[in-house]
């Protein structure tokens, strides 16, 4: 495996936000505090093995990937990455806004946009490009772990160029709530998660921040070590030009 620690740049929904609490409770882990949390009663009722079903996303904390986990390249430091996050966040841009829904994606369940959002795709691509100088090159072991034989030609190209196959046109924003589920189990779990999500009454979600996550060793969970609000472009000014 890649040298540790590893770092990732994710979207997280704010330490006090209802969406963050929703995700952290379902994963049983709060990446802001590092604390374990009890699972909701509804989750255990529909799936007594909920701890196992949520084990994979629990390791990463509730998030949406922008720059996938990476070891730092030679000569790069955590302090330098933190400074780069602040610089990136300070650049004014139109902030993406999505209509979040809970749905299945590639066999697991996540919070995803109800429809494509161009500004979100552009923002995610900027994150991939701007932070790539901090990324250590993939090892042969890490590349093999991505099972390149199962990827499309474009995904393999992206894996080799950016260290992760699901970037640029392949990017799909998702905040994961479960591991992969068999089709027969997915229905009742999806129904339960949609019902819990509906109580939040979140009609729109602005992608208004980035968070830096760190994994200290192979057994450790990722934890947030920094968060930066994004500078918003003044669209009203441009509309007057």
Instruction: Write out pLDDT tens, residues 47-91.
Output: 999 999 999 999 999 999 999 999 999 999 999 999 999 999 999
Q: What is the pLDDT of residues 199-241, one digit of tens each?
A: 999 999 999 999 999 999 988 999 999 999 999 987 655 445 5
Tokens of 5: 């620690």
Q: What pLDDT does residue 4 have?
A: 82
List pLDDT tens digits, range 158-201: 999 999 999 999 999 999 999 999 988 999 999 999 999 999 99
Paired tokens of 225? 């070590």
Domain ranges in the chain are 6-234
Pick the residue with more confidence: 66 or 2?
Answer: 66
Kindly state which CATH superfamily the domain 6-234 is placed in: Cyclic phosphodiesterase (3.90.1140.10)
pTM of the model: 0.92
Rounded distance between C-alpha atoms, residue 207 and residue 96, angstroms: 5
Mean pLDDT of 151-155: 93
Task: Note if the bond before 5 is cis, omega within 30 degrees.
Answer: yes
Nearest residue to 158 (alpha-carbon basis) of 207, 192, 119, 125: 125
């Amino acid at each position: 495996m890649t040298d540790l620690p590893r770092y990732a740049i994710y979207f997280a929904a704010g330490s006090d936000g209802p969406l963050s609490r929703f995700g952290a409770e379902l994963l049983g882990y709060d990446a802001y505090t590092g604390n374990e949390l009890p699972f909701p009663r509804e989750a255990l009722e529909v799936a007594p093995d909920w701890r196992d079903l949520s084990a994979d996303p629990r390791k990463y904390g509730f998030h949406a990937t922008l720059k996938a986990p990476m070891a730092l390249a030679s000569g790069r430091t955590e302090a330098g990455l933190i400074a780069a996050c602040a610089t990136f966040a300070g650049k004014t841009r139109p902030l993406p806004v999505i209509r979040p829904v809970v749905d299945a994606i590639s066999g697991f369940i996540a919070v995803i946009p109800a429809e494509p959002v161009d500004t979100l795709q552009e923002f995610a691509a900027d994150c991939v490009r701007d932070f790539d100088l901090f990324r250590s090159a993939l090892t042969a072991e890490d590349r093999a772990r991505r099972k390149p034989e199962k990827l499309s030609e474009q995904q393999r190209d992206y894996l080799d160029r950016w260290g992760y196959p699901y970037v640029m046109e392949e990017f799909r924003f998702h905040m994961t709530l479960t591991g992969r589920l068999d089709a027969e189990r997915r229905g009742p779990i999806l129904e339960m998660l949609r019902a819990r999500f509906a109580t939040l009454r979140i009609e729109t979600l602005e992608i208004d921040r980035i968070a830096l996550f760190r994994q200290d060793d192979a057994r450790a969970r990722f934890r947030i070590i920094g968060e930066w609000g994004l500078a918003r472009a003044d669209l009203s000014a441009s509309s007057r030009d």
